[in-house]
Structure 1
Amino acid sequence: MEEFSSDELNPPSWMNDQFFKEVLRKCERTDKISIENIEISPATAKGDHFASIMFRAVVIFNSIQSKTQSKSMIIKIMPQEEGCKQDFLKESFAFETEIGMYSKTIPKLEEELRKVGDNTVLAAKALYWSLEPQKILILEDICLKGYKVLKDRMATMEESKIAFLKLAKWHAVSYKLSYEGDKNVTSYSENIFSKKDADTTPFMLTGIEYLREKLETIDEFKKFIPDLKNVQKDNLKKSIASAKSYRNESPKGIFVLNHGDFHVKNIMTKRNENGELEDVMLLDFQMSSYAPAILDFMYGIYMLCNPSICINNFDEVMYFYCSNFIDTLKQLKFEGEIPKISDFYIELYRHRHFALFLISSFMPLWYSILEKHVENMDVLLASDEERKKMYGNSNYLRDLKPILQSMFYRGYLE
């Protein structure tokens, strides 16, 4: 498999000296910028992200305030080549959402934490953003601070807990702000189902069907087949309803600003020279939306954590997340009624359809990506035959069995 995505090998022509002068004028807060050299390369390896195109630019420049210096930055732009990535982003407000998150909302969440002495950093710093004439978001390059993406694996328990700790704090602050009437956190509505034909898109629609067809050929899974047949018809519809439930006339539940795409490729970890974990940074907020808090938790437990955690430590991680959510609200001196851990379990059952959607649609794709079986995402998403192959992955089926068994016992398949 190629090391980099083909659409990230050649930066667009407008990414030139004049463009970087404009960027640096904003970053350095001076008009006196002269460029000496620019080196542009792909920001990540193939398979490390999906929708946007990402470049790393190292710019050598001079300014009136200082002598020659270097600045490394990560540049996210719209896909230039036609295909599923470009189609998805054209139809969505993903860039508008992420720019709003980085420029206004995340700084506000961190500001609220600072007021009570919590110095948690939730995300990298945004350096520059624009929607016209190009949709662009430029971030600091946190690789220079020692952060790395996880390569070909899911997160360990230690990594998962730091990620869920930050998520719990994020959720708690947004819960407080929405209670106080802050429209900044409740205005986000973009989510993974925002594509106008999400309810008929084959990748979204056929997950349970293709999973059931595969499981019908394996004796040890056959007891799940009747229930899967029963939920197959309406599961996607109910998952979409969960994601959009705040827009209902009388929404019920624990609503927060969701990360919205809380999987293992959207975190980076930092370790010290002894290999000890120091931090986990959250990335990519194009799907952030105001929705039930439990959706983010479910996304993370199935798509970020090592499968053994989901299988053996589900309740432990659930307690860890919930207790930190509650503790953060207390730290923030929240004046409303604080949810109980039992309330989160009620939410878990209320939105159980989303969990089934994740394990039947996203999880098999994730195994294929991590095991480098996906050469071309456009081909995979467009081909029924290629998608069906994902459900025969032996590692996916091995991990799916105890997860599906647990869902069966909990009544998720009813």
Structure 2
Amino acid sequence: MTENTDTSQFNADELQAPAWLNAQFIEEVLNAYEKVPLQVTDLKITPATAQGDHYASIMFRAVAEYTTNGGKFSKPLIVKTMPEQEGHKKDMLSKSHIFETEILVYTKALPEFERILREAGDNTKLYVPCIYHSLEPRQVIIFEDLVPQGYSVIRDRPATKEEVQQAFSKLAKWHAVSMKVINEKPDFLKEFKYGMLDMTEILNDPMVTTSLPCFIEMLDKVPELTKYKTYFEKIKDNCRQRLSEIMLEYRNGPQANRYYVLCHGDFHIRNMMFKNNKKTGAFEDVMLVDFQLSNVCSITVDLTYSVYMLMESEERCELGKDFINYYFTVLEDTLKKIGFKGEMPTLSGLWEHFRSNKYYDFFLMSSILAMILAIKTNSLKMSDSVFDLEAKQNTYFLDAYLKDVKKLLPKFEKMGYFENL
């Protein structure tokens, strides 16, 4: 059965579970996972996420009641599958490799990464075990639900400094181990080659193609920012090509003094679950989730993305300097601990790498940031950024967005980002 109460907070395509997601299917999954005969006696299914949490799949929360010879049990699950309803989301994702990628992250990359950390005496947990996965007859991944274990997604407040630092700490360890693997066994991660901007459907989607024109129109109408209009008119025809070059650089020809890792690919606050002590409220853990866009590419892909998708305005307008520097200390320490034998990265080299990938900043500031701040302030739904151009254009005039842009553009100018466009 499917239970829904207040449906307004959920994505429309997650209000009704597909017919195949039933007690018989879950019973087969649990039989294989638990390795004992069992019978599912009840199954409750609800949407797993709120509007704005994600876009590249549909997710359900399932609670299965079942019996074995040992008694009665309950198993809370998260079921992630490809959109089946006809429409924009299905069209954009149907030819993608997101499920193959995520399955490989869970079954190949992260188990090896944790093994390397364990050998170095680091017991950091990088992922939740995958209970079930398939690509045929349908694309499905099932995990144990972290919510009953005390984890939750932050939606109604900014993350604390400690929470953000710990998220960066896990990312730094992930990146460090992947650098070691790339250096010693480069073919091990060769299958991870499909990032967000490698997907033609995304690059050609109205959610992307209308963003820069909307941004330029805003620059034209805000006197304080009009002088920057010329710069963005120069790049409007080649920005997407430059973005693809950034994503494909490792595969097309790695550059000297550049750092390449297996990136998470979508490192933002809604793809993290935080656990705090129930009695004291003290931070205990953060778990990264949603690895559908993980790919081997520039280390700056995750870090630059985090500036716009994870940080609050104050940190963002400093390009995340304090958090990125903290991340680097963990990265460097982990590389030493796990016996990395390649050339050690430097902090100055990392920031130079940032500057070389300035087009990624341009893209994120002129497209993703406006949408995220609008959703965060309840000014826009995700679907409106695709189907309602007028509503999308209005997001570029939101106070929160203009506040950041008025600080970021002068900073970019001072750093030389607008030279040699």
- Listed one character per residue, the Cα deviations across residues 326-349 of structure 1 (whole Å, up to 9, x for unaligned) are 111100011121111111112101
Measure, in 1, the Cα distance between the counterparts of 2:93 and 2:201: 14
1:111 corresponds in structure 2 to 115
Aligned match for 1:366, one of 365, 372, 375: 372
1:204 match: secondary structure: helix
Measure, in 2, the Cα distance between the counterparts of 1:250 and 1:98: 24
2:126 corresponds in structure 1 to 122
Q: CA RMSD in A?
A: 1.8
Question: Contact 1:153/1:370 (CA < 8 Å) preserved in 2?
Answer: no
2:296 corresponds in structure 1 to 290
2:43 corresponds in structure 1 to 38
| Counterpart code for 2:17 | P
**Cα distance, 1:182 vs structure 2:** 4.3
Measure, in 2, the Cα distance between the counterparts of 1:279 and 1:313: 25
Measure, in 1, the Cα distance between the counterparts of 2:382 and 2:339: 50
**Cα distance, 1:144 vs structure 2:** 1.1
Q: Quick check: 1:73 aligned with 2:81?
A: no
Measure, in 2, the Cα distance between the counterparts of 1:357 and 1:413: 14
Aligned match for 2:335, one of 309, 329, 332: 329
1:386 corresponds in structure 2 to 391
Measure, in 2, the Cα distance between the counterparts of 1:13 and 1:205: 35
Aligned match for 2:352, one of 336, 341, 346: 346
- Listed one character per residue, the Cα deviations across residues 242-294 of structure 1 (whole Å, up to 9, x for unaligned) are 01111214544211000001111111111112222222211100000000001
Q: Quick check: 1:399 aligned with 2:400?
A: no
- Listed one character per residue, the Cα deviations across residues 381-400 of structure 1 (whole Å, up to 9, x for unaligned) are 13432321221111111122
Pick closer, same or farther for the CA change 1:240–1:155 going to 2, 3 Å.
farther
| Counterpart code for 1:15 | L
Question: Contact 2:198/2:247 (CA < 8 Å) preserved in 1?
Answer: no
Aligned match for 1:408, one of 403, 406, 413: 413
1:185 corresponds in structure 2 to 189
Question: Contact 1:302/1:358 (CA < 8 Å) preserved in 2?
Answer: yes
2:218 match: secondary structure: helix
Measure, in 1, the Cα distance between the counterparts of 2:158 and 2:95: 30
Measure, in 2, the Cα distance between the counterparts of 1:117 and 1:99: 26
Pick closer, same or farther for the CA change 1:142–1:199 going to 2, 3 Å.
closer
2:259 corresponds in structure 1 to 254
1:215 corresponds in structure 2 to 219
TM norm structure 2: 0.93
Measure, in 2, the Cα distance between the counterparts of 1:126 and 1:49: 19
| Counterpart code for 1:223 | K
2:196 match: secondary structure: coil
1:29 corresponds in structure 2 to 35
1:53 corresponds in structure 2 to 58
| Counterpart code for 2:266 | D
Question: Contact 2:380/2:391 (CA < 8 Å) preserved in 1?
Answer: no
Question: Contact 1:156/1:305 (CA < 8 Å) preserved in 2?
Answer: no
Pick closer, same or farther for the CA change 1:194–1:383 going to 2, 3 Å.
farther
Question: Contact 1:191/1:243 (CA < 8 Å) preserved in 2?
Answer: yes
Measure, in 1, the Cα distance between the counterparts of 2:377 and 2:232: 27
Measure, in 2, the Cα distance between the counterparts of 1:57 and 1:200: 35
Which segment is superposed worse, 327-336 or 193-202?
A: 193-202
- Listed one character per residue, the Cα deviations across residues 61-81 of structure 1 (whole Å, up to 9, x for unaligned) are 1224x3111100000011121
2:317 match: secondary structure: helix
Question: Contact 1:91/1:196 (CA < 8 Å) preserved in 2?
Answer: no
Measure, in 2, the Cα distance between the counterparts of 1:376 and 1:340: 38
| Counterpart code for 2:306 | G
Structure 1 unmatched ranges of 5 or more: none
Measure, in 2, the Cα distance between the counterparts of 1:199 and 1:12: 29
1:134-283 equivalence runs, <5 A: 134-252=138-256, 253-272=258-277, 273-283=279-289
Structure 2 unmatched ranges of 5 or more: 1-6
Measure, in 2, the Cα distance between the counterparts of 1:116 and 1:184: 20
Question: Contact 1:57/1:75 (CA < 8 Å) preserved in 2?
Answer: yes
**Cα distance, 1:23 vs structure 2:** 0.8
1:308 match: secondary structure: helix
Question: Contact 1:199/1:237 (CA < 8 Å) preserved in 2?
Answer: no
Measure, in 2, the Cα distance between the counterparts of 1:111 and 1:290: 20
- Listed one character per residue, the Cα deviations across residues 139-192 of structure 1 (whole Å, up to 9, x for unaligned) are 111111111111145433222111111111100100000111242323201111
Identity in percent: 36
Pick closer, same or farther for the CA change 1:251–1:25 going to 2, 3 Å.
farther
| Counterpart code for 2:66 | F
TM norm structure 1: 0.94
2:9 match: secondary structure: coil
